[in-house]
Chain A
Amino acid sequence: MSDHREFEAEREKIDFLLEKGYVIKGVTENLSGAFLEFEYKGNEHDQPGKERLHILHPDSRKYFSTILVQQQKKQGVK
């Protein structure tokens, strides 16, 4: 798989969870890359849930953090 395909595969996983209504609840970064904690509060149709993604590719780590920064800007988090 080309480097870019690896990024696309990871981006798809992130987008998939976000589209399902999950939110990023926490980020842990260490020697192995980034671990994203996703949480879904649930609604009348779905049960709450938690997911974890291990993100390896540098472009994916830029990608999720860009989303994080933008969302926090929108919500006025200081």
Chain B
Amino acid sequence: MADLSLNLAGIKSPNPFWLASAPPTNSGYQVQRAFEAGWGGAVWKTLGEPILNVSSRFAAVDFNGKNVAGFNNIELITDRPLEVNLKEIYETKKKYPNHAIIASLMVEPTQEKWHEIVKKVEDVGVDGLELNFGCPHGMAERGMGAASGQVPELVEKQTMWAKEVAQTPVIVKLTPNITDITFTAEAAVNGGADAVSMINTINSLAGVDLDSWDTVPNVAGKGAHGGYCGPAVKPIALNMVAECARHPKINVPISGMGGVSSWREAVEFMLMGATGVQVCTAAMHHGFSIVEDMIEGLDNYLEDKGMDSVMDIVGKSVEKYSDWGNLDLNHQVVAKINNEVCINCNKCHIACEDTSHQCIDMLKDAEGNDILKVREEDCVGCNLCSIVCPVDGAIDMVEYANGKPPMTWNERQAAIGAASSCDVNLIK
């Protein structure tokens, strides 16, 4: 078995799968069940002044017969007094000394409040702290969570206040409800963060009931925006992790989350620079036992790749992620339709004809059978036909060796600028 153990800014756990701060980590009973099931760490449900929640709280977006493609909530932070949580953290840590327990914290943005809570939670033996600057609803109206997480100066200042007294590593959890997450990530680094984590939930309204015209969810007929998470947000979260991972000034480890449902997404996040992942929605949907498949799948993957340690995959894809202007304009792929496999549903033809570049012809072969054929010279390699094709292996996107040298948009623009500004002798 490969070494799955993790070290994130000094926080150690037996594997890279942590439960994110959310209902699954609300109590000692739950976190202990999670550790028994195999989770490597848990970020405790955010601690702060106990709040009042509404009922109902959650809603899910189903898509095409699959339930919980996305998950929406209007729940706030813990509703239990600090002392109750601290007692259970202490007991849990004592029982599971090798598992990571991270205390998620949210208080009003004052130095005094941060000092007070950091000292109190560290006294019970947590392995690290996660500052929750991301909760998008309720707490934000009170100046906490996303409201302070959207202002780089407040992120930096509050991180500094926590760091002034913290003895354990400080992770800053960022909100995705911002145009460019690297601004707030950099602010966290400037404030002394030992790591950043992302993403918290995305502002959302799950739906509107067509009969009652009520929002989904609603509380006695009234709704308020919530936070979106689950499989649907993975691409957004993955990009945010990648943007931070490749940013030269964000040089601290990243704990990645947002739509991790299996070992596969976990590997994607880690390849894109995350040192371990956190999971909420998938655990809420399927229970703690999903971690067994995650561990097994990750171990098999590492074995297939001939790798000894999970830490070795962290960041392996970061250098492959760049700006659009650095992509090769002359690289070409074209669609190839395998008529042996094709079921002639014509979805590719319709997609190409109606919404792309009109390069898939409906023809007859020598025996008079219907076939589909791509005019390669008109195919722009958009991938749409292979995306809409319902049959595996019926359409391949293949590299087309056009013999052209690589040329990026940035190189092209520089060349045009140089041609216009100096006397270049361009003889063929």
Contacts and interface: CB of A to CB of B under 8 A. Distances in A.
A68 B420 contact: no
Interface in A22-53: 23-29
Interface string A51-78: 0000000000010011111111001011
A2 B330 contact: no
Contacts of A3: 357-359, 378
Majority secondary structure, B binding face: loop
B405 interface: yes
Given A2-B375, A65-B407, A77 B418 contact: yes
B220 interface: no
B424 interface: yes
How many interface residues does chain B have, given as a range? 20 to 34
B426 A24 contact: yes
B419 A72 contact: yes
Contacts of A29: 416
Given A3-B378, A24-B426, A69 B415 contact: yes
Contacts of A67: 426, 428
Contact of B420 (A2, A27, A70): A27
A71 B378 CA distance: 27
Interface residues of A, number: 25
Contacts, number: 72
Nearest to B412: A65
B420 A19 contact: no
B222 interface: no
Interface in A1-30: 2-4, 18-19, 21, 23-29
Contacts of A26: 419-420
B367 interface: no
B381 to A, nearest CB: 12
A71 B308 CA distance: 48
A14 B330 CA distance: 18
Given A2-B378, A21-B427, A27 B419 contact: yes
A72 B423 CA distance: 11
A43 to B, nearest CB: 12
A66 B418 contact: no
A3 B86 CA distance: 69
A13 to B, nearest CB: 14
Contacts of B422: 77
A18 B415 CA distance: 17
A71 B422 CA distance: 13
A69 B407 contact: yes
Contact of B428 (A19, A27, A77): A19
Contacts of B404: 62, 66
A65 B407 CA distance: 8
A27 B160 CA distance: 52
Interface of B: 329-330, 357-359, 375, 377-378, 404-405, 407, 411-412, 415-416, 418-420, 422, 424-428
Given A26-B419, A66-B404, 20 more contacts: A2-B377, A3-B357, A18-B428, A21-B427, A23-B425, A23-B426, A24-B426, A27-B416, A27-B419, A27-B420, A62-B412, A65-B415, A67-B428, A68-B426, A69-B405, A69-B412, A71-B426, A72-B415, A77-B415, A77-B422
